[in-house]
Amino acid sequence: MVDCMAKQATTRSPPQIAAEYPPTELKKKISPEKHLECAAQYAYIPGNRYTNLFPFLKRNPWFYRVRDAKPKSFYRNITRLRTRHGRTNSRIHLFDPLTLPDCPRCPEDAETMAHIISECSQYEADRNDLLSSIPRDVTSPFNLDTLIAEEKLEVYECIDDFLDKIERSL
């Protein structure tokens, strides 16, 4: 019986869908005002930072320009700096509410990568070494994002040395 019904089903023509839709229903036009509203709403999503820092898609990843062998932590630290996915309290707090986002040394500030590298009072002396070791041809004034965006290997090495000195990995 079942075999018979299955056989009949294969010979039957597929059911016709009666409903009709005008093409305008499928692709609605967005008014320029609405488009601007959406652009403003999504201008600050975290992923936009990366495309702002590195607007041009490159054929090879950044680490293809590294000539000497480096420890794995170098590639990890710099990649996390570039993508802002470091293991800092403010980031861990996003998926573990029990971890407070604050810096253990400066409770009024969130512990972000920018805080660790360019603000935290705990690492003042090592930061001075970092600032003096940054090559002179870097565009000035700079902050962490502009340093990262220049994609200079010497700068990446200086920042990684700083992280080694303060015994932090990202």
Binding site for Zn ion (CB under 5 A): 103, 105-106, 120
Nearer to Zn ion, 81 or 120 (CB): 120
How many angstroms separate the CA atoms of 147 and 165, rounded? 19
Find the shortest distance in angstroms from Cβ 153 to Zn ion.
28
Q: How many CA atoms lie less than 13 Å away from 65 in the CB half-sphere? A: 11
Find the shortest distance in angstroms from Cβ 116 to Zn ion.
7
How many angstroms separate the CA atoms of 129 and 111, rounded? 21
Find the shortest distance in angstroms from Cβ 105 to Zn ion.
4
Nearer to Zn ion, 114 or 120 (CB): 120
Find the shortest distance in angstroms from Cβ 107 to Zn ion.
9
Nearer to Zn ion, 92 or 106 (CB): 106
Find the shortest distance in angstroms from Cβ 103 to Zn ion.
3
Going by C-beta distance under 8 Å and a sequence separation of 6 or more, which residues neighbour residue 104? 89, 111
Nearer to Zn ion, 74 or 81 (CB): 81
| Among candidate residues 58, 66, 54, 90, the one with its CA nearest the CA of residue 153 | 66
Nearer to Zn ion, 81 or 116 (CB): 116
How many angstroms separate the CA atoms of 126 and 119, rounded? 12
